[in-house]
Amino acid sequence: MRLLKRGRLSLLFGLTLVLGSVWMLSLLNELRTDGSLTYGWWEYTDVDGGPEKQCNCSAILQGETEALEEAKLLTLSEDFQKSVEIPDEYYINAAKDCRNFKLSRKYFTFPLSKEEEEFPLAFSMVVHHKVQNFERLLRAIYAPQNIYCVHVDKKSETSVFAAIMAITSCFPNVFMVRRPVSVVYAAWPRVQADLNCMADLYNASTEWKYFINVCGQDFPLKTNLEMVRMLRSLKGRNSMESEQMPAEKKWRVTNVHQLVNGQIQGIGKQKEPPPFNLPIFSGNAYIVVSRGYIRSVLEDDRIQTLIEWAKDTYSPDEFLWATIQRIPGVPGSTRPNRKYDMTDMNAVARLVKWQGHEGPQDSLDAVYSECHGNHVREICVYGAGDLRWIIAQHHLFANKFDIDTDPIAIYCLEKYLRQKVLAELH
């Protein structure tokens, strides 16, 4: 049987409501990628046959001490670290044969349910290094009905750009942003990268329902079907951190900042007040928003004026989206009253462990337990010991993960999600 076309797949998935196990048995026995090569459904079940497979992921996810200690010792081994690293050149060469690349990396190349097919999502992916992290993230969130814009920092190494270009070329619904920029931490180009992807995604398709932005060190905590159901339940509302601006952060928006030799710094000049007397809210770079919110960002004159005003502030990604979320008339927004404030822990967009909010398990002051990995810019880079807590949270994504810090954390989360996907099909 040739690769099932989308329309036929929709019919098949509809029939599962009546035929259930009959359809599954048929798929198990007959799913093929072309007339000669069979690809059994069961081959999707195992994640990867790499060195991480010696870990007991089930025990790790349950927080069992012995399994976590074994995983920790393994990640400290230099030989193990070398064995799990995949060089950029692998992806450049592997993606020359797209069909085999997608098969060997076990991408789902057909919609897994009618419910998901009818609720496509749009993703902006901003990356600058660690191709292996990016590819595993893409594989974890990939679905053929979704659409993906990838922004690679213009400063990235040639091999990084070439590898990601090779990967994206294998998928009709994954594309490189038309206008990449040189991203600078805490400066306007970080926002511009997402804005450019927003515009490309908005113009590329009229079908998608929600926009989600991610970076290369994010990883999903939910399957695509779970995301669809959670986003459908929002009924057009957006979900992101948006709170009153703390006093200790107000300098970021009251002083003019400029890029000097590739770094952002204040120039000792006070900014004009925000346009239209808009209250500025605190938030973060990562959001879950409706298509209508994106339309407002791209077309609303008030927001265009706010964007121009924000370009010489410090870390505009940590207030711009949160402020737009509180502007009356923006689709899915909430009123600027304090009662509508939302913390990052209550939003669904992103789970982050901030070092300043960590504490002992029995501490009433701590927001969450201590990090089991390490910290970068006061953010926990998760270790395997964080997984039990992570998968219990309601967020769609978590940040940060890093192959170099703990490849087992990513591997076990991949395996957990893949098993959930397959369970959803029964």
pLDDT in single tens digits along all 426 residues of the chain: 444 444 444 443 344 333 333 334 334 443 444 333 344 555 666 567 788 888 999 999 999 999 999 999 999 998 998 999 999 999 999 999 999 999 999 999 999 999 999 999 999 999 999 999 999 999 999 999 999 999 999 999 999 999 999 999 999 999 999 999 999 999 999 999 999 999 999 999 999 999 999 999 999 999 999 999 999 999 999 999 999 999 999 999 999 999 999 999 999 999 999 999 999 999 999 999 999 999 999 999 999 999 999 999 999 999 999 999 999 999 999 999 999 999 999 999 999 999 999 999 889 999 999 999 999 999 999 999 999 999 999 999 999 999 999 999 999 999 999 999 999 887
Q: What is the DSSP string of 369-386?
A: EPPSSEEETTEEE--GGG
Q: What is the dihedral sign for C-alpha 269, 273, 274, 276?
A: negative
Residues pairing with 255 in the sheet: 270
Q: What is the dihedral sign for C-alpha 191, 193, 198, 199?
A: positive
Contact 225, 115 (CB under 8 A): yes
Contact 330, 300 (CB under 8 A): yes
H or E element: which one contains 255?
strand 255-260
Q: What is the dihedral sign for C-alpha 111, 105, 379, 363?
A: positive
From CA 43, how far away is CA 55, in angstroms rounded?
20
Tokens of 24: 């599954």
Could you give the angle at which helices 188-204 and 291-299 cross, rounded to 10 degrees? 120
Q: Give every CB contact of residue 249 below 8 A, 6+ residues apart in sequence.
A: 282, 318
Contact 245, 281 (CB under 8 A): yes
- What are the respective helix, strand and coil percentages of the chain, to the nearest 5? 45, 15, 40
H or E element: which one contains 422?
helix 407-424
Q: Give every CB contact of residue 50 below 8 A, 6+ residues apart in sequence.
A: 83, 84, 411
From CA 108, how far away is CA 165, in angstroms rounded?
20
Phi, psi for residue 287 in degrees, rounded to 5: -140, 160
- Other C-beta atoms lying within 10 Å of the C-beta of residue 278: 18
Active-site amino acid positions: 318
H or E element: which one contains 149?
strand 147-152
Q: What is the pLDDT of residue 49?
A: 74
Tokens of 301: 């004159």
From CA 131, how far away is CA 163, in angstroms rounded?
7
Please give the span between the terminal C-alpha atoms of the chain, in angstroms, as a whole number.
22
Residues pairing with 375 in the sheet: 380
Tokens of 389: 């807590």
Q: Give every CB contact of residue 300 below 8 A, 6+ residues apart in sequence.
A: 329, 330
Q: What is the DSSP string of 202-237?
A: HHH-S---EEEEEETTEEESS-HHHHHHHHHHTTT-
Q: What is the pLDDT of residue 1?
A: 43
Q: What is the pLDDT of residue 113?
A: 95
